[in-house]
A and B are shown apart, each in its own frame.
Chain A
Amino acid sequence: MGFEDFVDYSFLIPLLPLIGAVISGFFGAKWLKERSHWPIWIGVGVSAFLSIGLLLATIDYTHAGHEVVGQGSHWFDWISAGRFHAEAGAWIDPLTAVMLAVVCGIGLLICIFAAGYMKGEEGYFRFFAYLGLFIFSMTCLVMGSNFIMLYLGWEGVGLCSYLLIGYYYEKPSARDAAKKAFLVNRIGDFGFGIGILLIFLTFGTVSYFGAGAGTHTGVIELATMPLDQLAKIAGVRSDWVPTALQWIPFCLMLGAFGKSAQFPLYVWLPDAMEGPTPVSALIHAATMVTAGVYMIARCGTLFAGNLAALETVAVVGTFTALFAATIALRQFDLKKVFAYSTISQLGFMFAGVGLLGSVPAVFHLVTHAFFKALLFLASGVVMHAMLGELDMRKMSGLKRVLPNTRILMLIGCLALSGFPFFSGFFSKDEIIGVAWEHHRKIAIVLLFTAFLTAYYTFRLYFRVFEGPEVIPPAPAGSSHGVVGGDVDEHLASGSHQAATADDHGGHGHHNHEPLVMILPLIVLAIGALGAGFFNFPAEHLGRFLGHSPSLIQTRHVAERNGIVADAAALGQVDEAELRATEGEHTSHTTLMVMSGLISLAGIGLAYQLHLKDRAAGEALPRRFGVLANVLEHKYWVDEIYDAVIVRPLFRLGQFFYAIDRIVIDGLVWLVGFVPQLSGFTLKLTTQRGYLQGYAGAMVFGIVVILVVVFW
């Protein structure tokens, strides 16, 4: 099968998980029950197979000498009214192919893990139905051929995120977290929606590439045209072009900040950890939250002409990276630490795209998907074994009871902290490298953040897995569906089972490291170890992504506007240039050594404070009392939101309702008054007949009503 065939059948990739979701959702409760994961496994499995096939086919296609690789696939007309057309269809290019492979590949692994993790939970079928729906939405998001498809996926993943955060819906905290996630995302979507409207207003279309790459009929390519040429194209409002081009990236950015949890719209992500851990891994670490990065990489041409917008993205990303990393320093819940770490790593990616380094950003996206999913799932195993306890102050030295998990967690932590030659090292380093060349200050902040990252990651690792063994008692009212009981007993029976039975999940629910859960983790760990070599040293990923028309055009726009675009960071490397920049390579090596050392320093500090001399580590917050307090309360951002936005708006609503009630009560009073009045009028107007008199009274009445209403 060639590239074109895969494109023709691309509709199967979202469709199959959707069918799986429908089957699980409607037949799961009654008939499938404990087998509800099968429709999803099959649906997502085939999709993952197709995605990876598509990726390989696309790679082959680029090797066949095609410079610009990108093809559309029309499914059906979705919305069509007047001048507005939005098809349901796909646009397949290297960027899409990479994203699809990540989404479906990691998605499949997590679906497999979840079957073990969620075993015996109430609403098992529901969970898998949501997962299927999520993969459907996410694939639509990354493969859609226009902004409306993007919006469909965008909101669809938001819905799934809402449903999955609220999976344990009886917990008020889960309910509130779900609502918060949806609403905060909606603030971003407000901007995103206006961005789409502006795009339509400016270019007269919402399709990325219209009739195809090179035809200059789609938004991405129209945006590359000089203004005077653009004005000549039919359907383009020339008077609007300059203003709109200025605003579009800012609007889109707002959407990206919401979905990808950037400052100030990041507040929903830590709360989202209320969802089951596989959800945190899939949606809130590996895939959904990277949608913003994908979007900015996709519409690079809309950003590249606008220095202010690019700078904003880079600065916000950098700030978020640092800000979230500092909060992560004082979190005690395993998942919360990783949540803030995700926000921070997403900040790195935004810094990357903001500096026109789409390739490093996407590269980091890929490696991050591996190691962060690994970390979340591994902490899921810990949570499973500890019957829902995740507070790192209450546990220590788990390496004996969870030996496999410990190794997997260690790999993940090393990758996250940028330990040399683990995947996170290469990708993070590339972003810092781009920053180093173009924006030294950002690079320095990012390097410092990398140090913090290494520190908080290993603080967690050393606390939980090393040191003297402390196993927490089962938390009261364990939210997790595992039948309650003593953790020690639970673990003892588990280790016993693990020792005797070489089980394949058959007797797995006493084993706290069942194969169905460990196997996906192993695959992810291999990724966390090796994904760095996708783009190092040969820059395979970069060259491949460089065939995407989005990136090619972005480079053209950036060059024309005199914004420094690192060709390599957009995947545009030809041999001559490579030789010319030989010298720069050494500076890059220096940077690599530096960031490796920084990572080691962070790990070393964590070792000192949290393993070797824990007393010193615990004394530290007391010494910096104010700072620790600020961090522990997460800078009071939630409280500020509540006081500045939520409450005043609610008050306003109550005020309006009070007005309404006064008017309604006034009306009811009038209702008693008007008939009397009409009777009175009737008396005066007997000779002219009943009807006119009544109508006259009505007229008078309405005037009175209007006076009351408008007063």
Chain B
Amino acid sequence: MVRRLPIRLLIILACLSGGAALLPPRYLPLGILVVPLIGVIGGMLLPPRMRGKTWGLGVSASTLFAAFAMAMHYDWHQGGYQFVVKGPRIEQLGFQFALGLDQISLLLVLLTAVLHPIAVTASLRSVHMRSREHYANMNLLLVFMLGTFMATDLLLFYVFFEASLVPLFFIVGIWGGKERRRAAVTLFLYTFSASVFALAAIVYLGLRAQTFDIPSVVFFAQNHMATNERFWVLMGLLAAFCVKTPLFPLHTWLPLAHTEAPTAGSVDLAALVLKLGTYGLLRIALPVGMINADGSVLFPQVLTVLAVLCLIGIVYGALVAWVQTDIKKLIAYSSVSHLGFCVLGMLALNPEGMAGSVLYMINHGIVSGALFLTVGMIYNRYHTRDIRELSGLARAMPKLAFFMMLFTMAALGLPGLNGFVSEFLTILGAFTSEHLGVAYGVIASLGIILGAAYMLRFGSTLLFGPLHYPLVHEEHGTHATVHPKYIPGGDITKREVLVLLPLAILVIVLGVFPTPLLKSLEQPLNAIRHAGGAGAVDRPVTPALPVATVAEVGAAKGR
């Protein structure tokens, strides 16, 4: 009976996901949000004796079908926003539930839909406590992340962006490591307080433009807003997105959260959640605050400051990653360094750098996710993340060694693997950019050396040398038991191979054939750079809102 149940569940889920995939194309974005949402509620309603593993994984996987269906139905030649879903408009606020995808959104949605189920598999044998809630939280996070990438309404974007913190807070706080509480609270307060500034900026933008439709807001900001206004709006937006990205020196929440989160949480956090920040920068902060309608840069000084912070982050993150003894922290700091490249490419504001930047989001997602997964696999067996206690694992775990070496090489930018393409393009972008220049490219290139230093410290030390690992003393707690399938000194299981394999294939395929992706990014990035956002609608010009009007709106809302 118990053995049969998951099969039934699987059938239900297959129907759900199949149903989602077979939706008429224009309802796909709605479907991709609603199906996992139903799954979340369904999961919570499961009888308490069930752990809801299959259900949880199935729900995560269901979005995969819908995302693939989207990619198939999307008209790549035409481009622009497609699958537009518009709900009722709240006139007083100008708020509308509006979803839509252009190529950038679609690629990030695909990344999320592919990586999230893979992340969830990491919980299957390591999360035993309150597992139904765990999967519910994971899937809720999925919904919010997808929503952020698909929202075409600024306020909706913000709602999803912020809401993603809630499940993340619980994931880190309940299923995390020893210092999970501290990590969760820090993560929440740090990012949340930064977002408040963005909320202020977004509300101001919406009231000024009398709409929250992102392309229209961008158009409005570029054509009708005063420099002073745009500066403060930009500052507000940057506060939120730079903390989320994270940009040096606002990265200090990240090592703690990454380290304490359970593997699935770390994977989601590094691979996907950080991309919310870079996506926000690219989609909103840059066009609203920094780019003029004619493509020139409004605040070159701000751009310079940001780029310099990126450079510092690249070098600083790499050096700090190099001296870590905790492998999770090492990868966490490597993210600081890597996202420095990502933002630097974006700030180059030329096709090469920006395309490289978006590609960087995808590649960093794949590679850092994969690295966290491999670290999780090691942790599951030896219950340590201390690089000094582990060595020579290639002897005991040849299959893991293969994958780990592949991902290490991808992370340090070996040509032929995906990391190289994006890293090279972002550096090239910075190097040839009229806003940045040769010096930026040269300093960023230092990452070539330092990246190799810390990634080889990770790969070489763990895999090579005499075999050495600590034995886990069995304790009867939730966090210190080794699953019977994980034999210390044994290789990764078939299931784990199956988890890493798709990522390995992506690493190679995206390294060899990145051109289709890069080509598809050209049009939306051009739109960001020049035309004030695709599908912009020019709204009637309104004079700058006097403060009284804001108060009136508030009063109207109150009534």
Contact = CB atoms under 8 A, between A and B. Distances in A.
A82 B351 contact: yes
B350 interface: yes
Given A152-B415, A653-B322, A671-B185, A79 B515 contact: yes
Contacts of B414: 155-156, 159
Given A84-B428, A186-B449, A667 B253 contact: yes
B89 interface: no
A654 interface: yes
Interface in A139-192: 148, 151-152, 154-156, 159, 163, 166, 169-170, 172, 174-175, 178-179, 182-183, 186-187, 189-190
A654 B465 CA distance: 24
A674 interface: yes
B409 A159 contact: yes
Contacts of B442: 194
Interface stretch (B33-41, B126-134, B391-399): B391-399
Given A656-B319, A667-B253, A178 B452 contact: no
A201 B424 CA distance: 14
A231 interface: no
Interface string A224-257: 0000000000000000000000000000000000
A183 B452 CA distance: 7
Nearest to B196: A698
Contact of A81 (B185, B192, B316, B356): B356
B277 interface: no
A77 interface: yes
A154 B420 CA distance: 13
Q: Which of A84, A170, A663, A674 has the most CB of B within 10 A?
A: A84
B518 A79 contact: yes
A194 B444 CA distance: 10
Interface string B416-440: 1000110011011001100000100
A152 B416 contact: yes
B512 interface: yes
Given A84-B425, A190-B448, A671-B185, A705 B190 contact: yes
Nearest to B249: A709
A78 interface: yes
Q: Which of B196, B249, B415 has the most CB of A within 10 A?
A: B415
Given A78-B515, A186-B448, A656 B316 contact: yes
A653 B319 CA distance: 4
Nearest to A646: B453
A79 B515 CA distance: 5
Nearest to B456: A179
B395 A194 contact: no
A636 interface: no
Given A81-B351, A653-B320, A170 B466 contact: yes
A170 B352 contact: no
A695 B196 contact: yes
Nearest to B324: A657
A492 interface: no
Interface string A690-709: 00000100110110010001
B76 interface: no
Nearest to A672: B185
B323 A169 contact: no
A78 B186 contact: no
A650 B405 CA distance: 23
Contact of A650 (B252, B322, B445): B322
B182 interface: yes
A649 interface: yes
A81 B352 CA distance: 5
Nearest to A149: B415
Interface string A100-116: 00000000000000000
A82 B355 contact: yes
A23 to B, nearest CB: 15
B77 interface: no
B4 interface: no
Contact of A170 (B194, B351, B467): B467
B464 interface: yes
Given A79-B518, A183-B449, A699 B193 contact: yes
Contact of A166 (B239, B320, B464): B464
B182 A698 contact: no
Contact of A200 (B320, B428, B465, B518): B428
B197 interface: yes
Interface in A526-558: none
A619 interface: no
A702 B445 CA distance: 33
B505 interface: no
Contact of A664 (B189, B252, B466): B252
Does more than half of chain A's interface fall in helix, strand or loop, or is it mixed?
helix
B319 A674 contact: no
B465 A667 contact: no
Contacts of A702: 193-194, 196-197, 239
Given A175-B460, A657-B320, A671-B189, A709 B197 contact: no
A663 B415 contact: no
B472 interface: no
B446 interface: yes
B464 A186 contact: no
Contact of A657 (B250, B323, B461): B323
A19 B359 CA distance: 28
B323 A650 contact: yes
A81 B323 contact: no
B256 interface: yes
Contacts of A699: 193, 196-197
Interface in B248-280: 249-250, 252-253, 255-256
Interface in A454-471: none
B431 A201 contact: yes
A652 interface: yes
B514 interface: yes
A101 to B, nearest CB: 24
B323 A698 contact: no
A31 interface: no
Given A78-B512, A656-B320, A705 B193 contact: yes
B494 interface: no
A245 B47 CA distance: 73
A88 B512 CA distance: 9
Contacts of A190: 445-446, 448-449
Given A79-B421, A671-B182, A172 B320 contact: no
Contacts of A82: 350-352, 355, 522
A193 B445 contact: yes
A83 B316 CA distance: 31
A657 B395 CA distance: 32
Contacts of B453: 183, 186
Interface in A653-674: 653-654, 656-657, 660, 663-664, 667-668, 670-671, 674
Interface in B15-33: none
Nearest to A77: B515
B456 A183 contact: yes
B432 A200 contact: yes
6 contacts: A156-B415, A182-B456, A183-B452, A186-B448, A197-B441, A702-B197
Query: Which 5 pairs, one residue from A and one from B, show the smallest C-beta to C-beta distance?
Result: A82-B351, A653-B319, A175-B464, A653-B323, A152-B415
Given A175-B461, A201-B431, 11 more contacts: A77-B515, A152-B415, A169-B392, A170-B392, A190-B449, A194-B445, A650-B323, A695-B199, A701-B193, A709-B249, A710-B249
